[in-house]
């Protein structure tokens, strides 16, 4: 009898906590970056509501986010070198470290065990234990020229690899963690001048780096890495005249739908269509302004496009079968980012200068809801936890 009473007394606080905090899943959760205030909104897509706000995340002017494989934790990469692990279920910072002087993004490993951060200052990649944020590996980006380089375009790749580019050295590196925490590094030199960002195709096969210092793109086939890096789209980058975005800073904004890639035509008011089997251009679609992000709906049926200043109050929708613009929307001033719900029935769009996040139905293009936010920029949903290269 006494043991039963003791057990009840011990369990009472836990039972009370469970009663006051009902269990919920994480599949419909996400975060919105509020860049001006260094805060994070936790949102849910089923009811289209904000759940809570998390403060104290530092400089979020170029922030990005990845998620743990159980979707509970968001790892936030700040421009101030901050790496913050946020528990989105309870809305609090689990741990925060300053791991460098200037950081530009990160990735999480295929098994969810490692979090990697790419750094400008000092140039290199640091890799941390996802559970504790303890340092696992430090990879200085020392190029063939003997100097440290800024690191850009860091992505996770299949077989426990991280792939990234050295901006100052003109190189692509692959760090292989498949055999333990001391990575095997493969270096590809002379890939082009000043790679500035990169993407990984959704199947994890092709790593493509854009070049700021010259025209063209550098492509590495991760299924056949022994073939080295080759150049594609040799004239990509030439604009008819200098525009607000004359070189694309975000290759992850490319849309790949079926056989084709849809990407901003640099210096032109067009979306370029590229065959991903031959990596040659097959068409161009006239649009409202200079495109910044071209994002594919999850089923690939439509791509959504936003634009650089002064046309950045507009979003257009392209039909990937007819290759025509089928809808033009005005979500607000300074549209920065778009994120589709996991199955693509809705898209969330941040408008920084309007202080809003608008939610549109992707079939009817009707605006379903508007949420207030302080200078919102990036929107990231937990479904990213199960996609390679994000």
- The residue that leads in pLDDT, 256 or 371, is 371
pLDDT at 18: 44
What average pLDDT does the chain have? 90
Mean pLDDT of all residues in 49-75: 95
Mean pLDDT of all residues in 65-84: 96
Answering whether pTM is above 0.85, one says yes
149 within some domain: yes
pLDDT at 17: 45
In sequence order, what are the beta bridge partners of 67? Answer: 74
177 within some domain: yes
Rounded to whole angstroms, how far apart are CA atoms 297 and 245? 24
342: pLDDT strictly greater than 60: yes
Band (pLDDT 50/70/90 cuts) for residue 13 is very low
117 within some domain: yes
147 within some domain: yes
Band (pLDDT 50/70/90 cuts) for residue 241 is low
Residue 243: asked if its preceding bond is cis (omega within 30°), the reply is no
Rounded to whole angstroms, how far apart are CA atoms 118 and 103? 6
Please classify residue 96 by burial: count the beta carbons closer than 10 Å to its beta carbon, then call 0-12 exposed, 13-18 middle and 19+ buried: middle
142 within some domain: yes
Rounded to whole angstroms, how far apart are CA atoms 220 and 6? 63
As for how many domains the chain has, the answer is 1
307 within some domain: no
Band (pLDDT 50/70/90 cuts) for residue 252 is low
CATH number of the domain that 167 lies in?
2.130.10.10
pLDDT at 250: 60
350: pLDDT strictly greater than 70: yes
176: pLDDT strictly greater than 80: yes
Block residue for tokens 């936790």 = 42
Give the CA count within 13 Å in the CB-facing half-sphere of 138: 7
Range of the domain at 121: 99-232
Rounded to whole angstroms, how far apart are CA atoms 29 and 12? 30
A 10 A CB-CB count for 259 gives 13
175 within some domain: yes
30 within some domain: no
């Amino acid at each position: 009898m006494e043991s039963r009473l003791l057990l009840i007394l011990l369990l009472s606080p836990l039972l009370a906590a469970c009663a006051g905090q009902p269990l919920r899943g994480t599949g419909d959760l996400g975060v919105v970056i509020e860049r001006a205030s260094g805060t994070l909104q936790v949102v849910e897509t089923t009811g289209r509501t904000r759940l809570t706000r998390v403060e104290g995340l530092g400089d979020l002017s170029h922030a990005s986010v990845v998620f743990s494989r159980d979707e509970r934790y968001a790892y936030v990469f700040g421009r101030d070198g901050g790496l913050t692990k946020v528990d989105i279920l309870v809305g609090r910072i689990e741990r925060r470290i300053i791991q460098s002087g200037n950081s530009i993004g990160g990735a999480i490993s295929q098994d969810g065990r490692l979090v990697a951060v790419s750094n400008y200052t000092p140039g290199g990649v640091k890799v941390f234990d996802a559970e504790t944020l303890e340092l696992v590996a430090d990879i200085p980006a020392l190029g063939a020229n003997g100097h440290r380089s800024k690191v850009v375009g860091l992505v996770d790749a299949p077989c426990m690899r991280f792939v990234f580019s050295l901006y100052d050295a003109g190189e692509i590196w692959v760090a292989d963690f498949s055999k333990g925490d001391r990575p095997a590094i493969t270096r590809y030199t002379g890939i082009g001048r000043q790679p500035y960002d990169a993407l990984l195709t959704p199947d994890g096969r092709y790593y493509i780096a854009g070049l700021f210092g010259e025209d063209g793109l550098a492509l590495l086939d991760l299924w056949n890495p022994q073939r080295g890096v080759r150049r594609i789209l040799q004239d990509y980058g030439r604009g008819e005249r200098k525009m607000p975005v004359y070189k694309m800073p975000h290759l992850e904004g490319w849309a790949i739908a079926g056989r084709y890639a849809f990407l901003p035509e640099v210096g032109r008011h067009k979306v370029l269509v590229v065959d991903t089997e031959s990596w040659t251009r097959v068409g161009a679609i006239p649009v409202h302004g200079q495109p910044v992000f071209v994002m594919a709906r999850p089923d690939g049926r439509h791509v959504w496009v936003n634009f650089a200043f002064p046309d950045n109050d507009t979003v257009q929708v392209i039909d990937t079968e007819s290759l025509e613009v089928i809808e033009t929307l005005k979500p607000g001033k300074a549209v920065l980012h778009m994120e589709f719900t996991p199955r693509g029935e809705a898209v969330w769009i941040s408008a920084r200068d309007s202080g809003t996040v608008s939610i549109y139905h992707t079939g009817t293009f009707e605006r379903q809801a508007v949420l207030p936010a302080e200078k919102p920029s990036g929107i990231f949903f937990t479904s990213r936890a199960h996609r390679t290269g994000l």
